[in-house]
Amino acid sequence: MNLKLKIWRQDDKSSAGRFQDYEISDISPDSSFLEMLDLLNEQLVEKGEESVAFDHDCREGVCGMCSLTINGVPHGGERGTTTCQLHMRKFQDGETITIEPFRANAFPVLRDLVVDRGGFDKIIQAGGFITCRVGSAQDANLTPIPKPVADSAFDFAACIGCGACVASCKNASAMLFTGAKISHMNSLPHGKPEKDRRALAMVAAMDEAGFGNCRNYGECAAVCPKEIPLDVIAKMNRDYAVATVKDFLGIG
Amino acid sequence: MKLDAKTPEGPIAEKWGRHKFTNKLVNPANRRKYNIIIVGTGLAGGSAAATLAEQGYNVTAFCYQDSPRRAHSIAAQGGINAAKNYQNDGDSVFRLFYDTVKGGDFRSREANVHRLAEVSANIIDQCVAQGVPFAREYGGLLANRSFGGAQVSRTFYARGATGQQLLLGAYSALSKQIGLGTVKMYNRHEMLDLVLVDGHAKGIITRNLVSGEIKSWAADAVVLATGGYSNVFFLSTNATGCNSTAIMRAYKKGAGFANPCYTQIHPTCIPQAGDHQSKLTLMSESLRNDGRVWVPKNAADCEKDPNQIPEEDRDYFLERKYPSFGNLAPRDIASRAAKEACDEGRGVGPGKRGVYLDFAEAIKRLGEPAIRERYGNLFDIYERITGENAYIQPMRIYPAPHYTMGGLWVDYNLQSTIPGCFVIGEANFSDHGANRLGASALMQGLADGYFVLPYTLPNYLAGEKPGSASTDMADFKEAEEAVNAFSQKLLDTKGSRSPRSLHLDLGRIMWEKCGMARNEAGLKEALEQIQNIREEFNTNLKVTGSGKSLNQELERAGRLAEFIDLAEIMCHDALERDESCGGHFREEHQSHDGEAVRQDENFAHVGVWEYKGSGEKPVLHKEPLVFNDVQLAVRSYK
Amino acid sequence: MSNPCCRHLNSSIGKKYLMALSGLVLAGFVFVHMLGNLQAFLGQEALNAYAYKLQSIPAVLWGFRFFLLAVTIVHVATAISLVRENRAARPKPNGEEKFVQATVGSRSMGFSGALLFGFIVFHVLHYTVKVTHPGYKDMHYHLSKAHKDVHDVYTMIVTGFQEQWISALYIVCMAFLCLHLSHGVSSLFQTLGIRNETWRKRLDAIAVAYGWAIFIGFVSVPVAVLAGALPLPG
Ligand SMILES: Cc1cc2nc3c(=O)[nH]c(=O)nc-3n(C[C@H](O)[C@H](O)[C@H](O)COP(=O)(O)OP(=O)(O)OC[C@H]3O[C@@H](n4cnc5c(N)ncnc54)[C@H](O)[C@@H]3O)c2cc1C
Ligand code: HEM
Ligand code: HEM
Ligand code: SF4
Ligand code: F3S
Ligand code: FES
């Protein structure tokens, strides 16, 4: 396959970026999108140019490191698929592909296509955990958890923290991500004691990190590679409201 | 180099209990005066950082990804073992201990393995309490599955993403401590050297991968939890960033490297499609429960549409060779059998490096919906990568490097031969001998981090004065300068070979000569070829960009430098270990029907390599392995 | 802002709650208002009697007006603050901007809302304060049952809509109201956390139906006037 690429290049956080055009030929349709970029980089290095920086690690759709907005859609628009799992056979020979970093002010560009998603870590640090001192846990089977509850907790916990939800959202809202974690932990019996605190603290951290407000567009769930449902935002809203009322009344 | 395993006295089941009691404790008020560096925040490092911080120590942790949540532990699919006996099928601590020693082909240290089996049950309790959503039965209790090499169901799992869920559990515990300020976390920082002060590990040098800044960090102890080194093969199931830099730097500062040649090759991976390939993807082994492995009987049929090849022209080689275990033969055996078939020219797919895993019969027997229910997500992954539909056409699979049993040598306390330098998780050599059983790596990483290191590290600290080292010391300045000079050299070489292309070459040599099957001639050749690659690397490397910014070419080059040296000790070790055991298969040592044959009289030991300087042959030391509680036996899966 | 309720209400989700609750009140109001307007089809007497009933007790009337004003202010002020924060959260796109699935309604909430705000201001000046058409003030009607002289709302409406540009303006604005509600009504359930995957599709459909019902209900009056189905009395 032969392709034209329009790639965002930026030296560092403080400099301005620009699109640069590249051409690449003889790409196997069996190669993955990132492998296509690997080959582009090999060619750039050969010419003595700086390679295009992009994030990646596991390359099997689970670590959440890869990003990229491809032709305007984070992770390229194939349902339930991360960029690293996207394959070139999904593109047309001769096509022009636009490649940009994930876009949000809370995700500053560090270089080229690499962004800083540290805001997500901050949200988790604020309350995305269930406190349990090592060694103090009871026997694992002491608290049975109904299978449907455990299964849906898993669905929520499947989030890989990639940030596509934020990048797809015209409001740069992190509510799908935050909602997924809150829903995961708040739905399990072990997570209940910290439920209210968690909802309040994580939402506060989310706001603090500079993410926007959800306006119920639903783009996030459509691009989420783990197909996290919009439900989690509704659940989070509900938990937050309950926590607020309790906080106001001074109960719980 | 002195190898004192410091195994406690007493009956095997009492060793750990006694040891915990005799270990010195640090007064709670003094704990925050101690600073501990933890490099790597995967399952092992993440759990250790969280636990030590929770105990009151000051922890500074590093990882090369942009968040601790992305460590490669995240990719583990199958599950985690624990001797809970929830299925009432006869499991026990001793059985898990026994299975692990046997599975490791009798090349691991008994006392360590027993401890692992002992704490395994606590891991499950801990993880469940943290909110890890393990699979459950309708009654609400935890579900288990069985996994290769065991006759009991002791594997806990969370769909096909057990590693992810466990890592997110450890990450959440770690995050809590970061939020509290007890752990300082530095993401996108790569450790490039270990710093010793008076022979004790007292700090590290890192490169900030965003700004390029080289910096020193001082502490009272250093813990390495940087994972495995399968990427020495270039193509493996590991994440593209996995590297051996931290352990190799420690090795070069005096830590013994144990059993570097023990690598595990996983039989069910998606075969390589071409030279563009950057990594190989693992498909859960559970596929072998219903899929039948075959190749055409005649090499001439290999290009044919598999569905057109009649039954009598197919060779179901695992069923033929191992009638009782059939398609479920252990990893190393299944892998080697596939390689043999391909070596005979009967491989299928691109490059004729692949064998069929056929579900046609299972689909006929159980119906497509049942297969979809069981393996739907795996079939989807397969289709995404290969573009082929495995419901109508057999899958193609091929073995790929997956896990490294070798690693830095550690004693019972998980301390390397450098005092103050502790090594946990896949980075150490400790528990799996020459072959790791499925679902045991996650167990080991978490055992080390949650339950072992937090008892053994304080014993070391108790004998150290807190804050004795500082980054102003000459030792740090020197190390920092050396690191700077090395980076500069990489940038200044200005030759014509990219790091990726050299790594590809290295990987090819290692895969062919030091992969699934090894022999003396091949290993000697490999040693020579590695020399050539090093020469190319030193004189003809091309790294564009600068050292003062995010530069992924420079990162690759730095990692490759250590892989080259590692490849060399792997080949030395493979050559020296003149026997077949577990994942190490020397063609010279096989039975008439191709089984691995151990040489217990000469090789019932851990092979530990000591660095002697660049270009010098390292020196081999041996830690004898004594078996009191299990009988050495021949592994048979016929 | 030390009071927990104020603090939480000022957060992203707090604001969404304000938005949703005020939206709920407004959506309810327009429904009732629409039912009121439809009484025009019952004739001059019915409509005028209804209008008189609503306005006969000043305390209730003004209480209601203040409440509605307050709700509108909350709704608009929160909307402005949300939109501003969201602009700040996201840089201007450099490359392609694509929507995967967001509906036109959801994407135009700000625009449709702003237009509605303009509409409400005009509408109140038009029919309530009557500054645009001072002549409306002189329309009177004698309720035959109550024996009272009241304002002739019926004549005012019909006269009003006989001016084609006014009808056109109302119809266009009602279209945007329909759009605003067809997203807003489903969205508010999401915001209030009373929706799940099963109810998502149903609520989406209900919201669209609600938007259309409101549209048809309101638009029927000017359309009927233009079509001559609602004639001036006499
Ligand atoms: C595809 C796959 C499937 C697997 N499935 C299973 C399974 O089902 N069951 C099972 O038990 N095991 C499985 N394993 C093995 C298991 O996942 C690993 O052995 C285990 O997770 C390793 O954990 P770790 O904490 O030691 O290392 P890792 O999780 O690899 O973490 C390494 C850490 O070190 C950091 N690091 C590395 N180098 C540096 C450096 N130079 N400077 C700074 N930081 C550094 C990284 O950032 C990371 O945080 C699987 C492995 C693979 C590859
Ligand atoms: C065709 C559509 C509409 C018609 C015919 C109509 C008619 C009227 C009339 C006649 C009044 C004045 C009643 C009086 O003072 O006697 C009124 C008041 C009002 N209308 Fe409408 N209206 C329409 C649509 C709307 C819509 C869509 C809204 C809101 C979005 C709205 C909001 C109001 C408000 C706020 C008042 C003032 C109530 C008060 O405090 O007195 N109207 N409308
Ligand atoms: C006065 C001018 C108005 C403005 C500026 C305005 C603006 C907005 C905005 C920006 C939103 C948020 C949408 C989102 O989050 O995506 C919204 C929501 C909403 N609006 Fe309005 N609006 C106005 C009037 C109205 C009126 C008159 C009604 C009812 C008839 C109404 C009903 C709603 C509803 C039901 C919602 C949904 C709340 C939610 O998302 O939870 N709005 N409005
Ligand atoms: S919710 Fe989905 S899109 Fe968002 S971070 Fe998680 S996995 Fe990525
Ligand atoms: S796209 Fe954005 S507006 Fe909400 S529903 Fe998703 S966060
Ligand atoms: S690289 Fe890990 S999810 Fe894509």
Per the structure block, which two tokens stand in for B560? Answer: 């490759």
> From CA C139, how far away is CA B440, in angstroms rounded?
89
Tell me the C-alpha to C-alpha distance, in Å, between residue C90 and each of B53, B436, C94.
36, 48, 11
Q: List strands edge to edge, sheet with B314-315.
A: B263-269, B395-404, B355-358, B292-296, B314-315
Tell if the CB–CB gap between A62 and B54 is shorter than 8 Å.
no
Those of residues 135-174 in A touching chain C at CB distance below 8 A are 168-173
Cβ distance of C95 and A210 shorter than 8 Å: no
Cα C53 to Cα C179: distance, rounded to the nearest angstrom? 31
Q: At which residue do the structure tokens 């070829």 appear?
A: B529
Token duo for residue B449:
């981090």
pLDDT of residue C5: 64
Residue of C182, C15, C16, C179 whose CA lies nearest to C111: C179
Place of tokens 């489903």: C186
Question: For all residues of chain A together, what is the average pLDDT?
Answer: 96
Cα B381 to chain centroid, rounded? 23
Q: How far is CA B575 from CA B478, C89, C114, in A?
A: 35, 59, 78
Q: Where are the beta strands (DSSP E) in chain A?
A: 3-9, 18-24, 69-70, 73-74, 96-100, 109-111, 114-115
Q: Tell me the pLDDT tens digit for each residue of C149-178.
A: 999 999 999 999 999 999 999 999 999 999
**Residue C133 in contact with residue A250, Cβ under 8 Å?**
no
- A in contact with B (at least 3 C-beta pairs within 8 A): yes
* b (16+ CB within 10 A) / e for C181-191: bbbbbbbbbbb
Chains in touch with B (3+ beta-carbon pairs under 8 Å) read A
Q: Of the candidates C89, C100, C200, which has its C-beta nearest A230's C-beta?
A: C200
Cα B265–Cα B388–Cα A93 angle in degrees, nearest 5: 110
Residue C212 makes CB contacts below 8 A (sequence gap 6+) with C178, C182
How far apart CA C164 and CA A145 sit, in angstroms, is: 66
pLDDT in tens, C13-72: 999 999 999 999 999 999 999 999 999 999 999 999 999 999 999 999 999 999 999 999
Q: Which ligand is nearest to the CA of B73?
A: 1
Residues of A in contact with C186 (CB under 8 A): 216
Per-residue pLDDT at C1: 45
Q: Is the pLDDT of residue C2 over 60?
A: no
Measured distance CA(B284)–CA(B286) in Å, rounded: 5
Residue that is written with structure tokens 């990726």 in the block:
B500
Closest ligand to A214 CA? 5
Phi, psi of B67 (to 5 degrees): -160, 150
Q: Do B553 and A188 touch (CB under 8 A)?
A: no
Q: Which residues of A touch B495 (CB under 8 A)?
A: none
Token pair for B73 = 């532990």
**Could you report the per-residue pLDDT of A185-226, keeping only the tens digit for each?**
999 999 999 999 999 999 999 999 999 999 999 999 999 999
The Cα B604–Cα B598 span in angstroms is 9
Tokens linked to B477: 């300045």
Question: Distance between alpha carbon B342 and the CA centroid of its chain, in Å?
Answer: 26
Torsion over CA: B105, B107, B109, B115 (sign) = negative
| pLDDT score of C4 | 65
Measured in whole angstroms, the distance separating CA B634 from the mean position of its chain's CA atoms is 25
Average pLDDT of adjacent 10-residue blocks, chain B of 638 residues: 95 97 95 97 98 98 98 94 96 96 94 98 98 96 84 91 97 98 98 98 98 98 98 97 98 98 95 92 88 94 93 94 84 88 93 94 93 86 92 95 97 98 96 93 98 97 96 97 97 96 97 96 98 97 96 98 98 98 94 87 97 93 96 77
With a cut of 90, say whether residue C116 has pLDDT above it: yes
Tell me how crowded residue C146 is: count the other CB atoms within 10 A of its CB. Answer: 13
Residues A126-137 have a mean pLDDT of 96
Torsion sign, CA atoms C188, C192, C197, C203: negative
Q: What are phi and psi of C208, to 5 degrees?
A: -65, -45
Residue C51 Cβ < 6 Å to ligand 2: yes
Across the A:C interface, residue pairs with CB atoms under 8 Å apart total 153
Please indicate whether, in this complex, the C-beta atoms of B75 and A46 are within 8 angstroms of each other.
no
Q: Is the CB of A182 under 6 A from ligand 4?
A: no
Integer CA distances (angstroms), A153 to A147, A149, A157, A159, C200, in order: 10, 6, 6, 11, 19
Task: Tell me the CA distances in angstroms from A162 to A121, B18, B173, B209, one per residue in order.
Answer: 11, 45, 20, 19
Bridge partners (DSSP) of residue B295 are B315
State the DSSP code for B503.
Answer: H
Residues 294-353 of chain B whose Cβ lies under 8 A from any Cβ of chain A: none
What the block records as the tokens of B30 is 């003094």
Judged by a CB distance cut-off of 8 A, whether residue C1 touches chain A is no
Q: Which of B374, B199, B211, B362 is nearest to B284 (CA)?
A: B374
Residues 185-244 of A with CB under 8 A from C: 200, 203-204, 206-207, 210-219, 222-223, 229-231, 233-241, 243-244
- Which of A117, A224, A230, A232 for mutating ligand 4's site (highest number of atoms within 8 Å of CB)? A224
Distance, CA of B402 to CA of B517 (rounded, Å): 15
Are the beta carbons of A126 and B553 separated by less than 8 Å? no
The residues that bridge with B81 in the sheet, in sequence order, are: B155
Q: How far apart are CA C56 and CA B464, in angstroms?
A: 88
Distance CA A75, CA A227 (A): 13
At which residue do the structure tokens 């992954």 appear?
A: B381
- Helix (H) or strand (E) segment spanning residue B265: strand B263-269
Q: How many CB atoms lie within 10 A of CB A22?
A: 17
- The encoded tokens of residue B63 equal 């990882």
Q: Which chains touch A (3 or more CB pairs under 8 A)?
A: B, C
**Does residue B598 have its Cβ closer than 6 Å to ligand 1?**
no
Query: Is the Cβ of C16 closer than 8 Å to some Cβ of chain A?
Result: yes
Contacts of A118 in chain B (CB under 8 A): 66-67, 187
At B527, list the tokens.
Answer: 């040693």
Q: Nearest CB to A30: which of B139, B387, B545?
A: B387
Instruction: Sheet containing B214-218: give its strands across.
Output: B189-197, B200-208, B214-218
Which residues partner with B196 through β-bridges?
B201
The three-state DSSP-derived secondary structure of C67-94 is HHHHHHHHHHHHHHHHHHHHHHHCCCCC
The interface pTM score, or ipTM, of the predicted complex is 0.95
Q: Does residue A157 carry a pLDDT above 80?
A: yes
Q: Which two tokens stand for residue C229?
A: 């189905």
- CA-to-CA distance for A11 and B109, rounded, in angstroms? 51
